[in-house]
């Protein structure tokens, strides 16, 4: 007869990360913000203070997006940049009953989390369809969408979940790998790009992708230190070195702005964002049903100029029957409540009806 030993010991609980002082500083220590469903009251206080809780994203221009798209019960829509799913959840509520929202994203980490969150909110597979594809794959969804979408939304901003998590390499405020890719399984990280690119090509990227006025100086400093730039903080330090001799009225603020623009320029380059956006804008009319509506949120001139140009051309050729005449911006109250909304611009277009 075999001897069996039964343990009465309970499994040890995993203790949360401890932090110094009264308030957590590191991303991993912000356990209440990262578990926003459990600590809803704490999260509300953080949002009320004008901050975005770690691991969350506050959707921008929600009221304006709804007004532009005019979703109705039974319609089929597409959120082409699903992110945290804030816009999608508002749209889902308005196409019910009988409607459906497709949500796509290239970020495998956040897509899985958002799908789980929307399922928990009560939206089943018939109401919400999640797909990990980029803009190029949208035409493949048309058959499932009944030949076209009643409305399409694209929010081109980087989500707060990506910006706040130092392991994703999007923020210079905390040290992390210099990555900047939306999908870490594809392409090369920004650290590899700065090591392989010439100084002149880097200068061109900084100017073309973010209108950086000190592109020459920054490119020179990055190129000189390229073999030592593997982290976000190392890149930020190289930019500070490049601008140390420049006379600024407000050095700290203006250098920080150049750091942000440099990160933006490299992010656009490693994700090939402008090419993807232009392909999306070319395909947009054929992906909409006649009379279908599109709304696009942009966050810098490189994006907005392209959207405005494609919408103007579409109106001139008859692809669109109407477009947004003036850019729509967040209200002063939203800009105050959510500082990350300050640079947002919303434009819309309506596909022409067939004769």
Q: Determine the average pLDDT of the residues in 161-175.
A: 73
CATH match of 165-273 with 3.40.50.1220: no
What confidence category does residue 2 fall into, taking pLDDT thresholds of 50, 70 and 90? very low
Name which of 63-72, 103-112, 293-302, 327-336 the model is least confident about. 103-112
* CB-based contact 124:97 (threshold 8 Å): no
* C-alpha closest to that of 292 among 143, 154, 153: 153
Same CATH fold, 165-273 and 62-160+291-351?
Answer: no
Q: Which sequence spans correspond to the domains of the chain? A: 17-53, 62-160+291-351, 165-273
State which fold the 62-160+291-351 domain adopts. Rossmann fold (3.40.50)
- Across 198-203, average pLDDT: 97
Q: Is the pLDDT of residue 337 over 90?
A: no
Q: Is the per-residue pLDDT at 199 higher than 90? A: yes
Q: Is the pLDDT of residue 299 over 60?
A: yes
- pLDDT tens, 24-66? 555 555 444 445 555 455 555 554 555 554 455 578 999 999 9
- Bigger pLDDT: 46 or 277? 277
State the pLDDT at residue 1.
45
């Amino acid at each position: 007869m075999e001897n069996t030993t039964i343990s009465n010991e309970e499994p040890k609980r995993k203790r949360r990360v401890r932090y110094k002082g009264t308030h957590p500083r590191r991303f991993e220590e912000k356990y209440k913000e990262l578990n926003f469903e459990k600590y809803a009251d704490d999260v509300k206080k953080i949002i009320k203070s004008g901050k975005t809780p770690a691991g969350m994203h506050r959707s921008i221009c929600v009221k304006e997006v709804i007004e532009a798209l005019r979703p109705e019960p039974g319609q089929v829509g597409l959120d082409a940049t699903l992110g945290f799913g804030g816009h999608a959840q508002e749209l889902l509520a308005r196409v019910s009953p009988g409607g459906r929202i497709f949500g796509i994203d290239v970020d495998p980490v956040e897509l899985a989390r958002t799908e789980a969150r929307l399922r928990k909110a009560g939206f089943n597979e018939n109401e919400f369809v999640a797909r990990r594809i980029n803009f190029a794959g949208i035409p493949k969804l048309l058959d499932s969408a009944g030949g076209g979408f009643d409305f399409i939304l694209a929010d081109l901003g980087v989500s707060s979940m990506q910006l706040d998590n130092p392991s994703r390499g999007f923020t210079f405020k905390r040290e992390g790998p210099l990555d900047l890719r939306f999908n870490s399984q594809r392409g090369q990280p920004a650290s590899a790009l700065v090591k392989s690119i010439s100084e002149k090509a880097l200068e061109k990227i900084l100017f073309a992708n973010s209108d950086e006025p000190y592109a020459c100086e920054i490119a020179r400093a990055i190129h000189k230190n390229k073999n030592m730039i593997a982290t976000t903080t190392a890149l930020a330090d190289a930019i500070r070195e490049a601008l140390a001799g420049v006379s600024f009225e407000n050095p700290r603020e203006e250098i920080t702005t150049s750091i942000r623009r440099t990160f933006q320029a490299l992010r656009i380059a490693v994700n090939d964002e402008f090419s993807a956006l232009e392909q999306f804008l070319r395909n947009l009319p054929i992906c909409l049903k006649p009379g279908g509506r599109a709304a696009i949120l942009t966050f810098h001139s490189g994006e907005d100029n392209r959207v405005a140009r494609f919408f103007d051309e579409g109106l001139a050729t008859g692809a669109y029957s109407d477009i947004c005449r003036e850019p729509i911006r967040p209200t002063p109250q939203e800009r105050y409540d959510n500082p990350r909304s300050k640079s947002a611009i919303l434009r819309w277009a309506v596909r022409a009806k067939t004769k």
